[in-house]
Structure 1
Amino acid sequence: MTPSDPSAPAVTPADAPLSPGPDRPAPTDRQRSVARQIVPIAAILAVTALVAFFVLRDEPAAAGGEEAEAVEVDYPRGPHNGRLLQPDAEGGLALEVTIAEDGIPPEFRIYPFAGGAPVPPGQVDLTVVLTRLGSVDTLGFERSGDFLRSTSTVTEPHSFVVDLVATYQGQTSLWSYDSIEGRTTMTDDVMERAGVEIEPAGPATILEGLHLPGEVALNTERQAHVTARFPGVVSTVTVGEGDFVRQGQLLAVVESRQLVGVADDYVRAAHRLHYVEGEYERERQLFERRISAEREFRAAEHELEEARIALQVAEQSLVAAGIPRGRVRALDTEPTGDRGALASLARVEVRAPTSGLVTARDVSEGESVSDSRTLFTIADLSTVWVEVTVYQRDLATVRPGMTAVVRSEDTGAAVEGRVRFVGPVVGQESRAATARIVLPNPGGRWRPGQFVEVDLATAVYDVPLAVRTDAIQDFRDFRVVYARHDGQFEVRMLQLGVSDSTYTEVLGGIRPGEPYAATNSFIVKADIGKSGATHDH
């Protein structure tokens, strides 16, 4: 855009058929005739340039990835290098339109002429209507020196259809022209193929704070290491690494001679308890009749208590091996010397203590295993940990309870959690500590070992208007998004506030609820760049 410049060099009469001032003779009739021919000639030139514009914008970019060169549509210019709007008839009102923005908010400055001479601005009543994509602005004007100045700012983008209505000496004149920049047409079908998605600008919660690397890890608090409980030989294995198991599901079978010995101990303890109970009852009766001494009764009482404890220990050992308590208690009903029931107990069933994923299997059929060896590792992946690397300089800022957003660049997934723990030890090589976040993991989308990005919120802002951070692009000297109206995209120059990796606050430049390209906006940017639109007034 070219601001008005009173010191701009004078133009020739052919360029500006106006009164030249005291040092230049008045224009001849032939010059006025030439001036009247400027409008149709300029119109032909404009149409030709517009055709070239649309042809060139559809051609592929030049080799090497260079964008198409800008196509400028020229028009008659006045002495201030602005757009010259010719009068309807000889001697009628003409206007030179400029937009000044050098060091000031953009404003229209319009210079009136009539009969080739400047007109005092106070004699002209002027209204300008700017029809934009999605809105209409009506501007009023006031006198300022030798021009009329708009009473409101001409907001960016300067892309609109301009309609001017001016009244001078009782005569009303109308002009209209297009001033388009940063705009392109894109059909819904093209958008879908390009992955361009539309969202309305609106409120958002923005986290301001630290951006740190992290890694998904197993929640070891919900991890089970499964053993056989008794040594023996593995006869059956029913699951493998990567299988999902339910609580109580059979994992393996171990044939254990030691378990048979424990069962035999239980039977012996049960038989001894029956015997001791009989002895105790006999001693109790003798003591009550004062036939035996109290010392003998107390000894029988103590022996009974020991027999009961021995039976409970033997029973609990069998139950811990996975044998139902009812079956254990039925052992002492077997006839003495019948070893069939005991032999059947050699089969130790190894079952899943919890539901989850088998993350490790360290056993094969036919192997001898001890009661301390881990045969399976089962991880409950309904929750996972995210272990965050917190550098030494940031440790004073990070604390338990902080809000965190965890993101995967690979999948695009994002979820909110809270810091649960901050490690007290700083690594000697990394000079960093570990903070831990517990995340819900429905569907198992967060995989242990996966690298993630973590935003820790040192401050939380609820803002009334925001756009997606990834949607923001550079356009000239502005940060912009591309608003969508009636099948077209157009730049919206933004004033920005706080931001995080998801949303950025907007202080001005786009209306609440206005739709914009939220994803793959770089494709829209490339299409606008290919069109070669210019910023000229």
Structure 2
Amino acid sequence: MKFDTSSRVQLGAAAFALALAAGGFGYGLANWRYEDAATAPAQNGRKILYWYDPMVPSQHFDKPGKSPFMDMELVPKYADEATGGDPGVTIDPARTQSLGLRVMEARTGTLGSNLTATGTIDFNERDVAIVQARSGGFVSRVYARAPGDVIGAGAPLADILVPDWAGAQAEYLAVRRTGDAGLSRAARQRLLLLGMPEGIVAAVERSGRPHNVVTISTPTGGTIKTLGVRAGMTVASGQTLAEVNGLGTVWLNAAVPEAMAGKLRPGQSATATLAAYPGEHFAGRIAAILPSIAAESRTLSVRIELPNGGGRLRPGMFASVDLGGTARPALLVPSEAVIQTGKRALVMLALPQGRYRPAEVRTGAEAGGQTEILAGLAEGEKIVASSQFLIDSEASLSGIEARPIADATGATRAEAASIGAYRTTGEITGIAGDRITFNHEAVPALKWPAMTMTFRLGAPALARGFKKGDRVAFSFDQTANGPVIRTLRREVGQ
């Protein structure tokens, strides 16, 4: 079938008209949808503050449409979902019971010590006696001793025959018979210098005949750690024959985590418990904190000295130890109420009218299920002690910023609420009523570039004394009604 040129032109014109009509209809349909979304709040009586992408809740839009970040529609934020400058997640009170929410107050209480560690019982290395031969000789007799035996003080170990003593003792006896007191004292002193015990010399004086066999005994009681004497062997002067470790006290060498190092001091009390004696507690004290830390376990060794009445504590026993410490007053919250994110710690505030908001806190020590709050909370503030992770997730999706704690300038908890969460600098370009406009620097935390922007003053008095052209540093919060100035000060040099 053939078409002439005029027919082709007419057909093209009709197609163009049809496309134009379809495009107009599509535009009208899309426009109707946007207008319907914009007018819907007026129909149901709820006022829309702005639209936002739930995945990027900090970015606000004044119109509905597609998110520039995700392939999804923007979501409206209604005025009745937030309250002025104090945003929060609103939960129907009827649902709090089904969620298992428990609300508690931050209270000042006594923080007990909870420094516990484990370790093993060891010998007290300060209570060691070394038994040596004072003169060279021959072992003529040994007593039934072996390493590991527990002996008392003065227990005999071996008899040693010392040939050199016989001649010296005979000379001493001969001098004594002359009656010369001076020569007798000199001869007696010579016997002591040869290594003879005072008891041997006294025995020679009583009996009137030489004693060249000496019994080697232990100066202290304890356990024989080493024994190096055997019958018939030759010993030299100064040779070590035995090593005896006392058992009156023992050491408990505890492995303490590195993080606890600053909480320990020598002389601090400690209480040990052992599986061998259930229900019993053994009190001692920290004798020393060793200077090195085990690289593998990141622990330091703490030496605790324990009395060992009856020798019940035996080296090698395993023990748990409470390192004590002084109880002190502190602001406390249940440990389960603290959310650790890795970079910061949060608690969930329970606000009036069923609202909840995260608050950043700085935590201290933990003991007995209670955590110390160093900053970020005031006594009496209510927090959520259970199911707070669900509320925190909802707050994150809704773009609700956590209430910040004081910065490093030393502000108190009461002052922390008046410091804005975000800070930057800029030049004032206009002041009108409760509004102030800045040409400000970038705000990396919000991914804002440098730009000119109008902020609402948290209090009109903040702008008193300032004028257009002033360079200032300011802090602000992101609220449901837009950014609000919290602090305002001139830059140094202005």
State if a TM-score over 0.5 links the two structures: no
TM-score normalised according to structure 1 size: 0.37
TM-score normalised according to structure 2 size: 0.40
- Name the structure, 1 or 2, with higher relative contact order (CA <8 Å, separation 6+): 1
